[in-house]
Amino acid sequence: MRTGGSSLSLRLRLRLLRDHVLVGLCVVALACAIVPLVWVLWEVVAVGAAHISWEFLTSLPNPPTVGGGGWANAIVGSGVVVGIALAIGIPVGVGTGIFMSEYGNNPLGRATRFLCEVMAGLPSIVAGIVAYGLIVITMGHFSALSGGIALSALFVPIVAITTQEALQMVPRHQREASLALGVAEAPTTLRVVLPAAMGNVLTGMMIATARVAGETAPLLFTAFGSRYWMEGIDQPTATIPVNIYTYAISPFEHWHTQAWVGALVLLSIVLFLNVAARTLWARRARFMAGA
């Protein structure tokens, strides 16, 4: 009996040791993920906040040999390009996700899922080259529209996959309750299942928006850039990511500083959109719940 108890105690100590080792490894992995992120954020905020100004947010760029100037045209251009991507990507992405979740138990649905997974890992420069070949060459010039379409190609698969997964997490009894009341399948999906999953769908949209808002390579081939205000969506336009890239590799020190400020502005815009979207949805959820 004593030997058996000793063996049990040894196994228990080994299990506790393995538990502590695994927890320690998880903590190390967490630190490896968080420390670089915090370091990057700290650098962007510390350097960018020290040089941000009202002039930077409201004026056009100055020549490189002249100090000062701003990125107002790039801020507006990024908003337009990302807005075009969202206008195309949200209905297409959510619609594709609904199809894969609710009507995709067939070869077409499985093929669509596979294509979305492949597209989600597509290098952004490939989307830019394709948009350049299909749109820019056809139009004969760069444009904000071609930039938005290129970004939408990166936006759609992320939203489609997250929408499918969010819809599949909705309990089956909610669908059955709606169908039992005589509601058809399509209205059930749009009025019952989709609203129940909207929180997770919105998270997928925000993740996709954060990705496309910071993409540079597709915009180098499509929107290209400009030192002036955008004259229309069919014309070239400056964008924040392209400006960050251009200014960061320049030999001018004050341009390097403006690149840091641009990174801070881009980070702030993405953060604001995430907070605003989640706040509005939370208020809507409380209103629908009668709180």
* Residue 51 CA to its chain's centroid (Å): 27
Q: Is residue 6 part of a domain?
A: no
Total structural domains within the chain: 1
> For every residue of 28-81, which 3-state class applies, written as one string?
HHHHHHHHHHHHHHHHHHHHHHHHCCHHHHHCCECCCCCCCECCHHHHHHHHHH
pLDDT tens per residue across span 26-46: 999 999 989 998 998 899 999
Q: Is residue 2 part of a domain?
A: no
Q: pLDDT in tens for each of the 291 residues of the chain? A: 455 566 668 888 888 889 999 999 999 999 998 999 899 889 999 989 988 899 999 999 988 888 788 999 999 999 999 999 999 999 999 999 999 998 888 899 899 999 999 998 888 999 999 999 999 999 999 999 999 999 999 999 999 999 999 999 888 888 888 888 888 888 888 888 888 888 888 888 988 998 899 899 999 999 998 999 999 999 999 999 999 999 999 888 889 999 999 999 999 988 888 888 777 777 766 655 655
pLDDT tens per residue across span 80-122: 999 999 999 999 999 999 999 988 888 998 999 999 999 988 8
How is residue 21 written in tokens? 């080792």
* Domain residue limits at 73: 57-288
Residue 118's domain is classified under what CATH number?
1.10.3720.10
Q: Is residue 191 part of a domain?
A: yes
Q: Is residue 83 part of a domain?
A: yes
Q: Is residue 28 part of a domain?
A: no
Q: Is residue 42 part of a domain?
A: no
The rounded distance, in Å, linking the Cα atoms of 196 and 174 is 9
User: pTM of the full predicted structure?
Assistant: 0.85
Token pair 């999906």 is at which residue?
189
Token pair 């299909």 is at which residue?
134
The rounded distance, in Å, linking the Cα atoms of 268 and 250 is 24
Torsions phi, psi of 70, nearest 5? -150, -175
